[in-house]
Every structure is written in structure tokens, then in C-alpha cells.
Amino acid sequence: MNDPFFSRSVVYICEHNNDGAMGIIINKQFNTPELNKVFDKLFTMDDSFDLFINDVFFGGPVLLEKGIILHHSDYMSPESISISKSISITSRNDVLEDLKKNKKTPFKLMLGHSGWSSGQLEREIENGDWLIQTTTSDFVFNVPPKQMWKHAAESLGVDLGSTFGISGQA
């Protein structure tokens, strides 16, 4: 896909119904010092709380200023939404603080998300813009982000040879 947001993106679909779909790009980490300015606006934490910038991911171009925590379901707060048996999402600052301190529960902090209107994602799939597969929490939380797209594509039997990259494939 030639779109700079979605090229070589691995998107975890969190919701899909007749109204549309919502997903989070899980393989694009932020690695810029400028992101600290975004955090100052999004999260108020005391000085003793250490937030590592490498734990932050670009979830998609929609509501980029909104933080979403994708986490393993072995941690649940009353506000957590279960997406699967092993993956949940939450958007509360106190949950982020708990997860950072706990260090037992894998999580990713996402800024923004991806969205599709009714029927849009289905049309894009029919056009060959997306490859679909199921996943596990192990893949989401343990495969290094820079290896996710290649791993996902190869697991579907996609040949990533030198001719790969034509439009219509993500």
C-alpha cells in the first residue's frame, strides 16, 4: 500500500460491525524526542514515574492525541474492554501507571487509531489492499515491531522478493 500511514503496517482489528471497523497499527514505534511534548499534553504523571519513549506506538491517524493502551487480559480494570481472550484495551492514565509499575503484564501504548466507515474495510479487502489472518498475544507483544510485517506476510506465504511492493498489497 502506498499510503505512508499504512504501508507495511500490521493492524490489529479491535472492532468490526455493520457501522464500520476500528483497528490499531501495532508495529510502528515512535522514536523521536519530540514525542515528549505530546506526552505532556496527554498524560500527567508525577516526576517519579518513568515513561520510556520506546514503548509508544503510532496506532493510526485518527485521534492521534488520544492514548490507547493495548494490554494482555491478565490485567483488567473496570474500564478495560476485552477484545479477545488474551487482549484488552484501556485508555486510562492510572492503568498505564499500574502496567508500567507491575512489569508482568505486556502492553503497548498507542497514540491514535485507524478507522473505516461501513463497508470500507470490506471493499479494501476485496481490492487486495489487506491480507487477513488471526493472531495471538504472543505475536502482538513479543515479536519485535520491526519484524512484525515481514513475519506476518511470510506466515501467509507471501513472497517478499525484490518485485514485492506493488500497490494493493499491505
- pLDDT tens per residue across all 170 residues of the chain: 677 778 889 999 999 999 999 999 999 887 655 555 555 555 555 443 444 455 788 899 898 888 899 999 999 999 999 999 999 999 988 898 888 888 889 999 998 999 999 999 999 999 988 989 999 999 999 999 989 999 998 888 887 765 455 444 44
pLDDT, position 65 = 80
Grid coordinates given for 20: 464500520
pLDDT, position 93 = 85
- Vertex 7: Cα angle to 143 and 106 (nearest 5): 25
Q: Where are the domains of the chain?
A: 11-155
* CB-based contacts of 161, cutoff 8 Å, min separation 6: none
* CB-based contacts of 109, cutoff 8 Å, min separation 6: 55, 56, 57, 67, 68, 69, 96
pTM of the model: 0.81
Where residue 95 falls (left for φ over 0; alpha for ψ -120 to 50; beta otherwise) is alpha
CATH class of this structure's domain 11-155: alpha beta
pLDDT, position 49 = 41
User: For residue 128, which amino acid is it?
Assistant: G
pLDDT, position 156 = 86
pLDDT, position 33 = 57
pLDDT, position 43 = 55
- For β-strands 20-25 and 11-17, DSSP reports them as antiparallel
3-state SS, residue 147: helix
